[in-house]
Amino acid sequence: MDAAGASDPSRQVRVRFVTKLPPPLRAPLTSIAVPAGLTRMGLSEIVNSLLLAASPGHQAQPFDFLVDGELVRLPLQEFLLAKGISAERVLELEYVKAVAPRKQEDPCPHDDWVSAVDGSNPSFVLTGCYDGLARIWRDAAECTHVLEGHSDGITSARFINKGETEDRLHVVTASKDRSLRLFRFDTSVTIPKHIGAYKILRGHASSVQSIAVDPSTDMICSGSWDSSIKLWSVEGCEEDGDAVSVKKRRTNSDSSGPEESQFEGSATSTFLGHTQCVSSVAWPEQQTIYSASWDHSVRQWDVQTGKESWNMVCGKALNCLDCGGESSSLISAGGSDPVLRVWDPRKPGTLAPIFQFSSHKSWISACKWHPSSWFHLVSSSFDGKVMLWDLRTAWPLASVEAHKDKVLCVDWWKGDSVISGGADSKLCIASGIEIV
């Protein structure tokens, strides 16, 4: 290597580049001596030139390097010193494609703050807005449907992806007007654009902050400012919902007027236990719901019994929570301080977070695990940044600074993009994030 030859030969490390990437990106396994002062970029250059030597048509691209399951973020020499790894033996450097957004798509403009976003459908993006409307964006570019009905800002919106045909979408939204609304529409038909809810779920005494759909998509749970968590049935009560709706509609007709051809549903059960606003709920498995609250606690609920099965106090008011990681058993949560924390509820005896990521400058408004990777997280903060995290390093992988104001919501989309909505009334899409 000409690069290695230039530097001091005494400060060289013998490395071997290995990878799990497919063959065109696989470098020869021979060990080579590289300067110890190389950083990630230098190593990346070496790998790229190795690959170029193997196949002349190779496009240079950034790589990230792993030593013993730890991402190299310092110059190689310092990294080895810090980790206490001997420089004598041949170092095995595993390289993966660097995780960073490569492209910033055009933002989708909204009329008001974008407070909810869902990217669980690969062809559509669902956004909730403070003007009370939820919007469906095809390919995150064109607004095909507007879901209306809420009288106050939407706080959370979710696809209820039934196993049926993909062109029928099923959506639930929660709002500060204390209700949840269910929408169902055909995506192949773009007319009418404005769609009303077919069902309204009422029962919360204060604004609904967060909703989660269970894995079998039969139930919805919602957390609210009235410090309760309520479970709602999506389909089941439609028959008896009729009966209810007649009564409800009558009483309702005095106050909220023209809502017709709508069913009303009421909560199937209520989980009480939190003492303050339930700011976020997650439903990773059929039987467990996690909730985060402003009373500084994260609680695990058993759906069958409605009892709290695990409880952890973290000392900060929490704004967001998500479950993911290895067998989706890790909990990440952020709140009224700039630290994103990850807990492992399986770890006995301790409530200390196993990871803490503290590069943000303000409150964390949302965090999401990557749908397929165990290691990757995205978080958004009121400081206007969206950050990508890898559990294997304490530094952020990348920071998206597309927003001009607070970022209120963030989600992964299609596994390689990050969509985020903020107080600058834009939905920003950072794409080209290759997570293998």
Partner 1 sequence: MGHSDGDHDSDLSADDSPWSEGSWSDDDEGSLSFEGSGEGSDAESDEPDAAAAEESDSSEDEVAPRNTVGDVPLEWYKNEEHIGYDITGSKIKKRDREGRIEAYLRNADDAKNWRKIYDEYNDEEVQITKEEAKIISRLLKGKTPHTNVDPYPDYVDWFEYDGKGHPLSSTPEPKRRFVPSKWEQKKVVKLVRAIRKGWIKFDKPKEEPNFYLLWGDETDTADNKRQGLSYIPAPKPNLPGHEESYNPSVEYIPTQEEIDSYQLMYEEDRPKFIPRRFDCLRSVPAYEKALREGFDRCLDLYLCPRTRKKRINIDPESLKPKLPSKKDLRPYPRMCYLQFKGHNGPVKSLSVEATGQWIASGSSDGSIRVWEVETGRCIKVWNVGGIVHRIVWNPSPDRHILAAVVDHDLLLLNAEVGDEEVQMKTKGLLQIEELALEEDTGDKKPAVKWVKHERFDGIMLIHHKAVSTVEWHFKGDYFTTVVPSGDSRAVLLHQVSKKHSHHPFRKLPGLPIAAVFHPSQKMFFVATKKFVQVYDLQKAQLVKKLESGVREISSISIHPGGDNVIVGSKDGKLCWFDTDLSTRPYKTLKTHSKDITNVTFHRKYPLFASASEDCTAYVFHGMVYSDLNQNPLIVPLEILRGHLSSDGRGVLDCKFHPRQPWLFTAGADCVIRLYCD
Residue with tokens 């798509």: 105
CA dist 203 and 265 (Å) reads 9
How many of the other CB atoms lie within 10 Å of CB of 428?
A: 26
Regarding 278 and contact with partner 1 (CB under 8 A), the answer is: no
Q: In this structure, what are the phi and psi dihedrals at residue 160, rounded to the nearest 5 degrees?
A: -105, 90
In terms of CB distance, is 225 or 343 closer to partner 1? Answer: 225
Can you tell me whether residue 77 is helix, strand or coil? helix
CA dist 19 and 206 (Å) reads 52
In terms of CB distance, is 113 or 185 closer to partner 1? Answer: 113
In terms of CB distance, is 173 or 207 closer to partner 1? Answer: 207
Stretch of 79-87, 121-129, 281-289, 309-317 contacting partner 1, by CB under 8 A: 309-317
Regarding 127 and contact with partner 1 (CB under 8 A), the answer is: no
Regarding 262 and contact with partner 1 (CB under 8 A), the answer is: no
Binding pattern to partner 1, positions 161-200, x when CB under 8 A? -----------------x----------------------
Stretch of 136-144, 201-209, 234-242, 387-395 contacting partner 1, by CB under 8 A: 201-209
Regarding 277 and contact with partner 1 (CB under 8 A), the answer is: yes
Regarding 362 and contact with partner 1 (CB under 8 A), the answer is: yes
CA dist 38 and 76 (Å) reads 6
Binding partner 1 by CB under 8 A: which of 26, 102, 138, 316? 316
H/E stretch holding 356: strand 355-357
157: Cα separation from own chain's centroid: 13
H/E stretch holding 208: strand 208-213
CA dist 27 and 9 (Å) reads 23
Binding partner 1 by CB under 8 A: which of 255, 258, 304, 349? 255
Binding partner 1 by CB under 8 A: which of 7, 328, 336, 399? 336
Kindly state the tokens that stand for 229.
Answer: 């968590």
CA dist 356 and 106 (Å) reads 32
Regarding 389 and contact with partner 1 (CB under 8 A), the answer is: no
Which positions lie near partner 1, rule CB under 8 A? Answer: 113, 115, 130, 178, 205-207, 225, 255, 276-277, 279, 294-295, 315-317, 319, 336-338, 362-363, 365, 382, 406, 408, 423
